[in-house]
Amino acid sequence: MKKTLLSLVVGAGISYGAQAQALSRSENFDLIGSVGALSEYSMRGVSYTQRKPAVQATATLAHSSGLYAGVWSSNVDINGIDARYEADYFAGYTHPFTDKVGIDVGYIKYTFPKGSILNATETYAVLTAYGFKLGSYYSDDYYGDQTYLYNYIGYGVKDLPYGIGLDVRYGVADYKDPSFFSSNGNAKNSYREWEVKVSKNWLTLDWSASYVDTNLSETECLGFQGDKESCSARIVLGVSKSF
């Protein structure tokens, strides 16, 4: 249960490709890892590779008490910023109240070598209950000093016919200052995003296909991410191997 909670919760923040498995075990520790390739790196509805392929890897050391810490990395391609990869460091605590209900709280540090303007930290809390997920991520240093709040609700099921899994998510990202500007000059400080993902383990690999979209216009996306199509409706494909 703790391992399942960990893969679900941190995934909402930094986009795991698949549920992680134990790389090695001792009496009190699990070393968890995965590596994957995706058609793009999409985070909270926005492409961080301008819709180009991404390779991602993660490793987590989890203790039987529920404490864990790890690292996650991906290549990035953001117009106007020299960063070529992202390295994130996270730590937290997960606790199952029952087999169906649990909570996870933690901290993430996002780093972008050669693109330090994107460096940020977040604290998060995610409640899981009977397949539903309710999460909140907060930062006070986006783009240096801007506060940011991301809330989402989701639902996942892993035992559909033919071994297919289904995950759905709806989230709202809210910035302190106006960050999205339309062609008529209007500005807003938040956007909505959603994802529907199907997944299946086949030939020892984890395969996935996601429909991703936001309510940002092409003009708003161009000003925010430097690419007008990085916030539009699209299909994201992925394959990964867990260790």
Whether the model clears a pTM of 0.85, i.e. scores above it, the answer is yes
Which one is predicted more confidently, 145 or 221? Answer: 221
Query: Three-class SS of residue 28?
Result: coil
Distances (CA, A) of 59 to 17, 24, 39, 100, 143: 12, 11, 21, 25, 27
| Domains in the chain, CATH or no CATH each | 2-242 (2.40.160.40)
What three-state secondary structure class fits 113?
Answer: coil
End-to-end CA distance of the chain: 17
Backbone angles phi, psi at 98, to 5 degrees: -145, -175
Instruction: Tell me the three state secondary structure of residue 23.
Output: strand
Picking from 123, 124, 172, the residue whose alpha carbon sits closest to that of residue 152 is 172
**Measuring CA to CA, which residue among 108, 60, 54, 111 is closest to residue 240?**
54
The pLDDT assigned to 143 comes to: 84
Per the CB < 8 A criterion, the answer to whether 228 and 219 are in contact is yes
Structure tokens at 141: 């240093």
Q: Is the pLDDT assigned to residue 23 strictly greater than 70?
A: no
- In this prediction, what percent of the chain has a pLDDT beyond 70? 89
Range 25-30 average pLDDT:
78
What is the rounded distance in angstroms from the CA atom of residue 185 to the CA atom of residue 182? 5
CA atoms within 13 A on the CB side of 131: 10
The radius of gyration of the chain from alpha carbons, rounded to an integer in Å, stands at 17
**On the CB side of 17, how many CA atoms lie within 13 Å of its CA?**
31
Q: Which residue has the higher pLDDT, 7 or 62?
A: 62
Average confidence (pLDDT) over 39-63: 97
Residue 18 has pLDDT above 60, yes or no: no
Longest dimension (CA), the chain: 61
- Residue 19: per-residue pLDDT: 44
Percentage of the residues of the chain whose pLDDT score is greater than 90: 84
Average pLDDT over residues 6-23: 45
Residue 128 CA, chain-centre distance (Å), reads: 16
By DSSP bridging, strand 42-43 and strand 180-181 are: unpaired
pLDDT (average), residues 187-214: 97
- Rounded mean pLDDT of the chain? 91
Q: Is 234 helix (H, G, I), strand (E, B) or coil?
A: strand
Residue 202: count of CB within 10 angstroms of its CB: 11
Per-residue pLDDT, 27: 74
Are 11 and 233 in contact by the 8 Å Cβ rule? The answer is no
